[in-house]
C-alpha cells in the first residue's frame, strides 16, 4: 500500500506530538550531528583526496546501501519540498550507471543520509586514520555502540517505533526491515524474552498489508 503524502504528514505530526517520541528523535539527530562532526574532523581530508576529487566516490556505489524505513521518515521530517522533489526526480530518471542514484553533483541528495551510509568507513580510510590512533578508534567504537541504540531491536528503538507507527495505520513498506527481516525479528524476539516480555508482533503482522 502506498503511503499518501497527507496521511504520512499526519502520522508524523502524531509522532512528534508525543514528548517521548520527539525526545527520541532529538537524541537521534544529536547522535547524527556527533557522527558528522567526528567524520568531518578526522576523515574529511582523506575522503576528499581519495574519492571526491577523483570522483571515485567508492562508498556511494549502486546497490551498496541498505535504507531503513526510518531513514526515509527522518529524512522527510528534515527536508523541505525542494529536497523531496529532488529525490523524486532521480527516482523517476533512467537510473543507469554504477553509482548510487542519490549521488548528485554536490554529494548526497538526502538531507539526513541513510544511517548505513553515514556509518560506513572504507578500510583504506579507517586504517589511515585510526591504525595509529587508539583514542580515535575508541571514539568511533563508542559511536557505533550508540548507533545500535537507535536501530538494533534487542530493545525498544526509534527505528522500530517509526515502522510500528505506520504499520498501526495500515501502511507498509518493503524497507520495514525491523518488521520483516527474519534476522532482525529474531533479535527482537530474543530481546523481548530477555526482558521477560513476549513478542508483540512479527512477520504475521505484515500479512495483507503489502
Ligand atoms: S544515499 Fe547518499 S550517501 Fe548513501 S550511497 Fe547514495 S549518495 Fe551515497
C-alpha cell at 49: 583526496
Listed residue (37, 59, 36, 38) closest to 47, CA to CA: 59
Give the residue, by CA position, lying nearest to ligand 1 atom 4.
Answer: 117
Give the residue, by CA position, lying nearest to ligand 1 atom 5.
Answer: 60
Rounded to a whole number of angstroms, the CA Rg of the chain reads 18
* Distance in angstroms (rounded) separating the CA atoms of residues 204 and 176: 13
Q: How many domains does the chain have?
A: 1
* CB of 114 sitting under 6 A from ligand 1: yes
Q: 60 C-alpha vs ligand 1 centroid, how far in Å? A: 5
- Going along 25-169, which residue ranges are E strands? 103-104, 107-108
Q: 196 C-alpha vs ligand 1 centroid, how far in Å? A: 39
- Residues paired with 99 in a beta bridge: 61
CA distance between the termini of the chain: 6
Each residue's pLDDT tens digit, 121-166: 888 888 888 888 999 999 999 999 999 999 999 999 999 999 998 8
Tell whether 179 is covered by a domain. Answer: no
Q: 2 C-alpha vs ligand 1 centroid, how far in Å? A: 23
Please give the share of the chain, as a percent, with pLDDT higher than 70: 84
* CB of 72 sitting under 6 A from ligand 1: no
Tell whether 100 is covered by a domain. Answer: yes
* Distance in angstroms (rounded) separating the CA atoms of residues 121 and 63: 16
Q: pTM, whole model, 2 decimals?
A: 0.83
Q: 197 C-alpha vs ligand 1 centroid, how far in Å? A: 37
Tell whether 192 is covered by a domain. Answer: no
Task: Answer whether 30's CB lies under 8 Å from 146's CB.
Answer: no
Tell whether 132 is covered by a domain. Answer: yes
Tell whether 173 is covered by a domain. Answer: no
Compute the residue count for the chain: 210
The H or E element spanning position 43 is helix 19-47
* CB of 100 sitting under 6 A from ligand 1: yes
Residue 207: pLDDT band (50, 70, 90) is very low
* CB of 110 sitting under 6 A from ligand 1: yes
Tell whether 197 is covered by a domain. Answer: no
For residue 55, the model assigns a pLDDT of 60
Tell whether 201 is covered by a domain. Answer: no
Listed residue (128, 103, 130, 127) closest to 114, CA to CA: 103
| Domain region containing 120 | 5-162
Tell whether 80 is covered by a domain. Answer: yes
Burial class (CB in 10 A: 0-12, 13-18, 19+), 123: exposed
For residue 182, the model assigns a pLDDT of 96
Amino acid at each position: 500500500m502506498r503511503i499518501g503524502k497527507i496521511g504520512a504528514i499526519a502520522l508524523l505530526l502524531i509522532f512528534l506530538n508525543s514528548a517521548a517520541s520527539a525526545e527520541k528523535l532529538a537524541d537521534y539527530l544529536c547522535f547524527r550531528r556527533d557522527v558528522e562532526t567526528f567524520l568531518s574532523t578526522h576523515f574529511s581530508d582523506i575522503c576528499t583526496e581519495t574519492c571526491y576529487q577523483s570522483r571515485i566516490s567508492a562508498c556511494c556505489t549502486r546497490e551498496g546501501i541498505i535504507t531503513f524505513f526510518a531513514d526515509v521518515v527522518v529524512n522527510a521530517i528534515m527536508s523541505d519540498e525542494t529536497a523531496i522533489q529532488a529525490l523524486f526526480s532521480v527516482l523517476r530518471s533512467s537510473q543507469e550507471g554504477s553509482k548510487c542514484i542519490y549521488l548528485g553533483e554536490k554529494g548526497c541528495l538526502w538531507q539526513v543520509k541513510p544511517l548505513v551510509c553515514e556509518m560506513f568507513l572504507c578500510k583504506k580510510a579507517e586504517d589511515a586514520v585510526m591504525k595509529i590512533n587508539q583514542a580515535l578508534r575508541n571514539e568511533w567504537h563508542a559511536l557505533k555502540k550508540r548507533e545500535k541504540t537507535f536501530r538494533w531491536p534487542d530493545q525498544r528503538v526509534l527505528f522500530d517505533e517509526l515502522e510500528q507507527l505506520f504499520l498501526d495505520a495500515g501502511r507498509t513498506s518493503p524497507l520495514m526491515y525491523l518488521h520483516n527481516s527474519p534476522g532482525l525479528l529474531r533479535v527482537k524476539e530474543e530481546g523481548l524474552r530477555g526482558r521477560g516480555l513476549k513478542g508483540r508482533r512479527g512477520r504475521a503482522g505484515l500479512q495483507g498489508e503489502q
